[in-house]
Structure 1
Amino acid sequence: MEAFLTNSKRLLNEFLENFLRRRFTPPLRLQSDFLNRMFTDCAFCKITISCVLLHYILNMTQPVASMGDLENTVSEADSNAEIIRGISDGELALALRGILRRGNPVVLIADKQRVAVASQREQNAEWRFEASGDFGDQSRAVVEGAMKNFKWLEVDSLETGLDAAASATVYRKGDVSRWTERRDILTGFKRPKAQDRGRTGEISADTRKRVGAEAGWHCQFEGCGENLWLDANTDTLGNFSYFAHIIASSVDGPRGHAKLSGRLFDTAENVMLLCDKCHRLIDRVSPDEYSVDTLNGMRAANVEQVASLFRSLRFPSSDMIVVGGNILNQSVVFDQRRAEEAMRAAKLRPAGGKPFWFAYNGNEMGDGSSPHFWETQFDQWARMDIPALRARLTGATYGGAQAEVVSVFPLHLMSVLVLAGHLIGEARSVQVFQFERNSVGDNTQGDQWAWPKDAKRPDPSKYSVVVHREPTNGETEALLLVSLTDRVPRGELPAEFYEDGAWKMPVVEVVVPTPSRSVIGHPYDLELVGKAFDDALQSLQEKWRVSRIHCVPIAPTAACIRLGQKLQSRHQSRIAFYERARTTDGTRGQFKPTIEIASSYVKNVATDREVPLT
């Protein structure tokens, strides 16, 4: 009983798959373990399916009048159509059993790849095709079980084979075996003998590697996609692939061509990676149904689909820019590995190589109130940093190749960060990371550079713009305060800004309900604060039309980069930036001007030295 069930499962699986292939476009496929589940999990299914299959097989062996839909289709269809659309080895075996039961003369007409069954329904009647397809082990077993009832004829073309049917000879196993070997070599199911290789269109190892890689080692036939490194039925690893020519390597092969076969046999674009079933389908079952144009279209679409799937697995490449330097008594420490982990957590792929450092001040302490510090920075910017950053952003550093995203890691004075943001701009995709001081080696991906996993999306109204005083009497200068990490203390502002409780010029302030060092804690924060900067600059430049802005920021490093980026779109005014002055007694000093950024230059306020930005 078990042997019968095993054979029944095999036959039913083949029948159902071929039925789905022939009745639906694109062809449907059975789930690989469908019949396994039915034959192992349900005793009733075992008996029912086996009985249905047995009934089908018995019907196929009855006289033609009771063979059902398949037999009627064959009897009424045009003979040429039956040649074009072949059937599988199993289906052909079933059809041969039905034809055999009639007792009429039968001739097996073979071209270079397949066999068509021709018969006479009545004595002296015309020969007509009953079926054609893959003459494999199952079909051959049926024929060789009753050889005296069959004749054999080899022709160049099935279309003209009927005219010569009367000249067919007796069926001889030796003749058929030789034809089978030639057929298998022509269709790529068997490798030629060693002495014949190199003269029969062998596909080289390099071409096989390329075709396999382009297909992702899955079947390229439209709608199939079978994994060719894994047997779906046995869950066994191995190489179950076939390399099939679109234009055959031989003129006599499927879709062979007098001139192109010899030229394209080792061209990757002329080779498809297929599973056994699909290989048989295009080369032995229905080679005429699958033209060169059809298969070329299938292959091209598959290659693009596979490439697209593999591209989707890759994060966008990102170039790493560190705006970092020593600040007062704190030496800059940058861990590239942790920064790269933060990039991966943000679904970015480090482009490789070392990060680009902007405004790195080496062993010098970064005192924002020191004239010497700024003069050294201007020397470095003019000589190296600004030209090198421009080249990095445009791809000139790598021969014109640009990374898809720029990842910015800010660790510097606020004035320097704003300048870097201005140079980086918004024309390209930019990912700004915020250093989190309170996250110290917590073993999460990216540690101090990654956004907290439990961070809540901020409310859209978190950042607002407050107007403290509007311009009067044609004032041309205004003050921009950024109070994010802490509130800008009024008493530490220069007297020309604020004195005796009164503002001395027009003032706009970007604020949050609760300033803190962790105010930027979610990627959406950068979008919202950028919108607030836009609104503030619009009031200052487009509404009030001031020619010079004084900016005092107390903000996280990432927010300073965003402020600099926003100077791109509507940067018409000169903007002077302020840092807190250093004192010797530990008290907080007043805010002093450091640099002034214009559309085409950056100026050292203390010396009036200008460095071009373009």
Structure 2
Amino acid sequence: MADMLPSPLNGEDFARVIGRLEGESTEILVVVNGFTACVYQRRTPADAWLPVCRGELSEHIESVISATLRRRMWWAQVDGSAAAADPASLDIERLTMKTLRKWLRSADDVTGREGEVTQSTRERVAYLAAWRCQFAGCGTDLHTHAPTGRSGRFSYYAHLVASSPRGPRGHAARSARLANEVENIMLLCDACHRLVDRIDPDYYTEELLQGMRRRSIADVKRLLNTLQYPPVEVIAIVGSIAGQVPQFSIHDAEPALWESHLRAANHQPEYLFHIDHQLHDVHASDYWSAVFRALKSDGSQLQRILNGAGRGGAPRPRIAIFPQHSTSVLLVAGRVLGDTGGTYLFQPHRSVAADPKGTRWVWPQRERAHRCDKFLLRVHKTAEPGAREANLMVSLTFGIAPRRLPPGCFDAASNTLGLPTVEVYVEPQDRGIHLIGAPEDLQELGRTLDRAIQILHDEWHVSRVNLFIGAPATAVVTMGQKMQARNQATYVCHESKEYDGVFLPTVEISSTQVLEPKSGQVFELQP
């Protein structure tokens, strides 16, 4: 019989359907159990009862039952499901307003009882629900009255197994035992509470509601845990650039970390390649002597962090990198850091350097639509079989003119490239210091660099790569991260001494070491 009935209605709609029967010359039968109702009609006593509606029988019904309508209404009460009862087999009686009102009071008592729920149980239930309705997909804020915005407690503590054996999902033995158990109670808004207890209690079984409750608690825990950002070790790679030493503190990093849903594990950042009062000249051997000394003093501790060692068996921590240094140093830093997961790069943005709010390191385009076609690749000159050396140009903040390449890499007499050459570039309208505006830009750049390295290593099989870079700091670190020990060629890093000048070699990075060629100084990459 339940399968033949219409969809369940709330109290107002239920009463509206009954009111429309005023003008029909039919008999009406209301079948109830302790908390919900089904309505049937027939034209003559010889006819079968036909379903009209089912759901919540509420106080709204009193306003639509006129004296005329009441004379055609019958009443029957059952112990089991009202929807499953056979109306033809029931003992029926004339409906009176006294009977109806008595039933309404009893139904409110059966489905709305909270006397068995102690204050401590209520607090625990509300805590697990975060004061949100636990019905699947509802999530109504039960601390705020939606129409008025008034604060308060607008919730119902709904029993999965009713606290009364006569209630929805009631049980002769379990109802009393589970009446004050947290696991048997879910927090609901008024609408959802009426739905599961009065409108369609046959559908909303204990098992179904228990599943909703479990998922709600799990979702609340998951979402609230996102408020606790994972900690990261903050590493600053900052140094003198053109005679200016950038200042950095943990307060510079925190806004960028928070915006990326991260937090500093320590209030003091670690410094890598930090050389106090050292004249910036990447073409001078003394400069690299200082860099290598700094690496040797910091490198062992950094390597322990990267390997996850020395932390009582704990896994490698997440690392946040804040880079602002020379191109060659950033390449070495990227090579040392590697390209494993859990490393977050942050790009300095010059236009907000003096921003007192500390947004200099915050990604400016994080919320903007990401382009997948920004970073391009082209081969200027293909390698002949047996070629052992090639050029890689990364032209992002500015285009690298071939004439700026040193002899051997470029033949000035013929105005042609002297070596096979691959270039990673952007269109002129995309060039500039802000072209890396979001982490997704770095990911896209990384994929393009991978393709360039694949050409150099796997297709051309060269053993030496002359590297020329015009790119933001994070892009340079990313390039360094790609120089890993797997069949790696030696990369000869180049920088120019002056604007628009010729690129000259600084250091050579192989799979095992960093070499400063003028003095022969070496920093071993393998501990």
TM-score, structure 2 normalization: 0.70
Pairs within 5 Å for 1:262-411:
264-280=178-194, 282-283=196-197, 290-303=204-217, 310=223, 319=232, 321-327=234-240, 329-334=243-248, 336-342=250-256, 348-354=260-266, 357=270, 359-361=272-274, 363-365=276-278, 367-368=281-282, 369=284, 370-391=287-308, 399-400=314-315, 407-411=320-324
State the shift of 1:367 in Å. Answer: 4.6
Report the residue type matching 1:420 in the other structure: A
- 1:128 is aligned to 91
CA distance in 1, matches of 2:427, 2:380: 16
Determine the C-alpha separation between the residues in 1 that align with 2:525 and 2:352: 38
Establish whether residue 548 from structure 1 lines up as the match of residue 464 from structure 2: yes
Question: Which of 130, 134, 138 does residue 220 from structure 1 map onto?
Answer: 134
Q: Deviations over 1:32-81 (max 9, x none)?
A: xxx9xxxxxxxxxxxxxx9x999648569x873799x94417988889x9
Over 3 Å counting, the alpha-carbon distance change for 1:465 and 1:496 in structure 2 is same
Of 536, 539, 551, the match for 2:455: 539
Distance 2:19 2:172 in 1: 48
Structure-2 separation of matches of 1:486 and 1:335: 30
Amino acid across the alignment from 1:547: S
Gaps of 5+ in 2: 31-37
Give the letter for the 1:415 counterpart.
Answer: S
Q: 445-454 or 324-333, which moves further after superposition?
A: 445-454
Q: 1:480 to 1:190 in 2, by over 3 A?
A: closer
Q: Secondary structure at the match of 1:237?
A: coil
Cα 1:53/1:371, change in 2 over 3 Å: closer
Task: Select the structure with the greater relative contact order (CA < 8 A; seq sep ≥ 6).
Answer: 2
Cα distance change of structure 1 residues 601 and 312 upon mapping to structure 2, 3 Å threshold:
same
Q: Which amino acid is 2:304 matched to?
A: P
Deviation of residue 296 (structure 1)? 1.8
Per the alignment, residue 14 of structure 1 pairs with: none
Q: Which structure 2 residues correspond to residues 151-550 of structure 1 after superposition, within 5 A? A: 180=106, 184=109, 187-191=111-115, 200=116, 202-205=117-120, 207-221=121-135, 226-232=140-146, 236-249=150-163, 254-257=168-171, 260-261=174-175, 264-280=178-194, 282-283=196-197, 290-303=204-217, 310=223, 319=232, 321-327=234-240, 329-334=243-248, 336-342=250-256, 348-354=260-266, 357=270, 359-361=272-274, 363-365=276-278, 367-368=281-282, 369=284, 370-391=287-308, 399-400=314-315, 407-422=320-335, 424-428=337-341, 432-441=345-354, 446-447=359-360, 449-451=362-364, 460=373, 463-468=376-381, 470-471=383-384, 474-485=386-397, 497=409, 501=413, 505-511=419-425, 518=433, 520-523=435-438, 526=442, 529-550=445-466
Higher gyration radius (CA): 1
Q: CA deviation at 1:458?
A: 7.6
Deviations 1:469-521 (A, max 9, x none): 7356x342334344444566878866565676476654444455659752635
Matched-pair contact (CA < 8 Å) for 1:358–1:389: no
Deviation at 1:376, TM superposition (A): 0.8
Q: Kindly tell me: are residues 457 and 225 of structure 1, through their superposed partners in 2, closer, same or farther at Cα, counting changes over 3 Å?
A: closer
* Residue aligned with 1:540, SS: helix
7, 27, 35: which one pairs with 1:64? Answer: 27
Backbone CA RMSD of aligned residues = 5.6
> Comparing 474-483 with 312-321, which one deviates more in the overlay?
312-321
Q: Which residue of 2 aligns with 1:563?
A: 479
- Tell me what 1:88 maps to: 57
Give the structure with the larger helix fraction. Answer: 1
The one-letter amino acid of 1:518's match is I
Q: Normalising to structure 1: TM-score of the pair? A: 0.62
What is the distance in 1 between the residues matched to 2:453 and 2:217? 49
Instruction: State the SS of the aligned residue for 1:608.
Output: strand
> What residue number does 2:34 align with?
none
332-341 vs 453-462, which deviates more? 453-462
Give, in whole Å, the separation in 2 of the partners of 1:596 and 1:289.
69
Q: Percent identity?
A: 26
For the residue of structure 2 that corresponds to 1:612, the secondary structure is coil
